[in-house]
Each structure stands twice: as C-alpha cells, then as structure tokens.
Structure 1
Amino acid sequence: MGKVSTFSPAQQAENTSSKIVVALERLSEAFRVLLWQEATQYGLSPIQIQVLTFLLHYPEEKRTVTSLALYFNMTKATISDAVKSLEQKNYLVRKPSETDTRSHSLHLLKEGRAIAKKVEHFAAPLQDAVATSPLKEQGVLLDQLMQLIYQLNQEEVITHQPMCFNCQHYTEKKGNYCTLLKISLKQANLRVDCPSFETRED
C-alpha cells in the first residue's frame, strides 16, 4: 500500500506532522492571496511586486537577475521576463556592471521606487497576526521555522538560504552564537536573511 496522503483528513486526524504541513499550506495560501490582491490593484504580477520590493531594500551587488532567481527559487528566464515587463513600465533600468561588462545591476526609477513603497506592505496582515503572540513565543516559532527551512535547503528542495544556520559565523558551541558579532543569539535574534552572511566552509 502506498503512503497515505498528507491531505487526507483521515491521515491528518492521526498524524500531527500532516496537520502541521497542511497548516503551513494554509499560511502559504494566505501569502498568495495577499500578494495577488496587491498585484491586481496595481496592475502587476506577484513576482513583479516581489522584485520591486527586493530592489527597494538590497544593495547593488545583489540587484541582479541571477541573485533574484536564487533568492526567489525561480529560473533566470522567469525573473528576466518580470524585469523586462518592469522596464517597459519605466519602473527600473539595467546598468552595466563596472567590474563585469557581461553583468547588469537593476535600479529603480522614481516611479518604480514610489510603487515599490506602496506594494511592499502586502504581507502586513500576516505580520500583524504573528505580532499578537508574546515575543518569546515568536522566537520559538522563528527557530522552528528556520530549522524546517534549513532542512529543506540541505535536501535541496529550496535554494541557498543566507540564514544563521548556514553561516560561517554561526556556532552552537555556546548555544546560538555569532562569532562575527561576538554575541549569543536568543531565538528571536536569529536571522533568516543576514547582510553579514558568509557561506559555511565544509
């Protein structure tokens, strides 16, 4: 007999991990709904909103098609299509790299920056819901979610994740500890996306 589906109500009734997976699916649906609502309002696709938001906050060296494809776990072709559409809307421009003529960085134009600032808050209802829990509980949840993300990353289900558990500076010898910042990290201090991240050397 094959493995019982996680999405079978009978399986969920007897299996806690199945219920957790379905709960995560519900949350991903909420994220998609919020993203689509924002996209429809501004005549954009969901990935275009995510690209605009990324470009608003990340440094120039990461504002490339390659970095975006890695970050969003999508193909370069998919990201390139989104970027081309945003170029046509006069929301961004490509600029040749000063160090590599084959590479281009992406830069928001005035209208692109303005629209990015409007759409970047699409996930606010989710954040507001999470914020109703005490900070300690949020830290526990963050730790558990990051452990799950780390495991899926190790199994190559999702691409490279610039998070504490993957970082050269992270160690568990003193609990959660950052050797770069030289501080112990409480669960709530763990970072999903760290600007000081360096890939761990195996």
Structure 2
Amino acid sequence: MKKISGFSPEQQLTSLDARLLLSLQRLSDMLKAMQWEQARILGITPLQLQILLFTGHHTAEVNKVAYIATELQLSRPTVSDAAAALVNKGFLRIEEDLKDRRSYSFLLTDKGKEMLTQAEQYIAELDTILQKRPLMEKASLYQTVYTMIAGLYDKDKGGMQRMCYSCAHYEGNKKRQHACRLFKKKLLSAELQIDCGHHSSLTIPDIL
C-alpha cells in the first residue's frame, strides 16, 4: 500500500486521510500568516505577540523565561530577548519572586493589556466561523484534534502540553471514560483540557 501523503494531489482524490493532512497543514499556515500580519500591524515581532498572548492569560507562577521557552519550544536566550524588548516597549513589567530573588516573572502593564486585546484579534474571524457550527460537530472536532495533539506530544522532544492526558489528576482510559481527581468529577471528551492551570506539571521545580 502506498504511503499516505497529504501533499499528493493524486492521493487527495481518493484518500480522506491525505485530504485531512493537507487541510490541517493549510489551516496551520493560514493561522500563522494571520498571526504574523497582526504582529506587523502592532509593530511587534510574531514571537513577541506569542509571549504577550501567553503572559496575558497565565499567572506569574509560569510567566518565567524557562517555562515560556519550554512552552514555545525555543531557547531561553531567544525568549529572554523578546520579553526584554516588550519590557522596553512598556508592555510587560518584571516582578521578582519573593521566595527566590534569582527568579522573576513577566506581567502585563496597563499598556500591555490594551495591546493584548488587539493581539488576540487575529483569531476573530475563525472564532466567528466556529460559533456558527453545531455543538455536536464542534465536540467531535475537538475530540479528534485533542487526540491528535496527545498522539504527537513527546515530552522528551521539548514543549509543554498542560492537557488532561499528561496530568497526574487524570483518571480514565483515554478513550470514552475520563475523570479529574482534583475536581472529583467525570469529564466528557469535549471537556478534556488542553491548557489547564491546575495541571500537575506546574509543581515541577526545574521549569519554574
């Protein structure tokens, strides 16, 4: 059997898998282009936009260079330079860790909060499209995408996924049965989290 290729027009004619692979690639490319265009409009780099989006929606506990670098799968110096530029622009401020003077976090300034609102606008059109889709269709799509992300995730290759499947609080068979020990409740597949603030890995010392 010929290997499936999402880039082959011939296979796309007969293979749903090939069409799905190409569709995911196209969607990724479109979102990246939209993000880059939004960053250009705002006068910042795409990386700075990503850091704004992350720090604007996470706590000081994880808004540290080491953690953000793991999140974005980039080197610490690269993230440190981009974050420092945002500090110089007045969008971020540095907050020292009272428990460890060598550690510090990045938090949004009032100016940064205004910028964050604008930075998020690049997904507005996609959000509008999703809102118009039926709930069951979105739940099925989310379950499929979630399973794909979980299947691709490899902690040894870097990156950070604060998702249920990699959390110590998760209980289930990763198929039809899911539960969270922390919140003591059963979860539907569409309720599985992909960026949970209560993820067990937040307590790992070497990434804080």
TM-score tier by shorter-chain length is 0.7 to 0.9
Which letter maps to 1:78? T
Taking structure 2 as the reference length, what is the TM-score of the superposition?
Answer: 0.85
In structure 1, the residue matched to 2:148 is 148
> How far apart, in 2, do the equivalents of 1:3 and 1:74 lie?
32
On the 8 A contact 2:55/2:107 being kept in 1, the answer is: yes
| 1:167-186 correspondence runs (5 A) | 167-172=167-172, 175-186=177-188
In structure 2, the residue matched to 1:192 is 194
In structure 1, the residue matched to 2:101 is 101
| CA offset digits 1:87-108 (Å, max 9, x no partner) | 2212112232212222211122
Gaps of 5+ in 1: none
Gaps of 5+ in 2: 202-208
| CA offset digits 1:126-167 (Å, max 9, x no partner) | 122222221122111111111111111138566231111111
Which letter maps to 1:44? I
> How far apart, in 1, do the equivalents of 2:155 and 2:68 lie?
21
- Deviation, 1:33, is 2.1
Name which of structure 1's ranges 138-147 and 76-85 shifts more when overlaid on structure 2: 76-85
| 1:1-202 correspondence runs (5 A) | 5-154=5-154, 156=156, 159-172=159-172, 175-199=177-201
On the 8 A contact 1:135/1:188 being kept in 2, the answer is: no
- Deviation, 1:16, is 2.6
> How far apart, in 2, do the equivalents of 1:97 and 1:183 lie?
34
Name which of structure 1's ranges 8-17 and 66-75 shifts more when overlaid on structure 2: 8-17
On the 8 A contact 2:70/2:159 being kept in 1, the answer is: yes
Q: Which runs of 4+ in 1 moved over 6 A?
A: none
| CA offset digits 1:49-102 (Å, max 9, x no partner) | 121122212111111111111222222222122112112212112232212222
Which letter maps to 1:112? G
- Deviation, 1:4, is 6.8
On the 8 A contact 2:71/2:159 being kept in 1, the answer is: yes
Aligned residues: 198
| 1:158–1:143 Cα change, 3 Å | farther
C-alpha RMSD over aligned residues: 2.2
On the 8 A contact 2:4/2:17 being kept in 1, the answer is: no
Which letter maps to 1:167? C
Three-state SS of the structure 1 residue aligned to 2:142 is helix
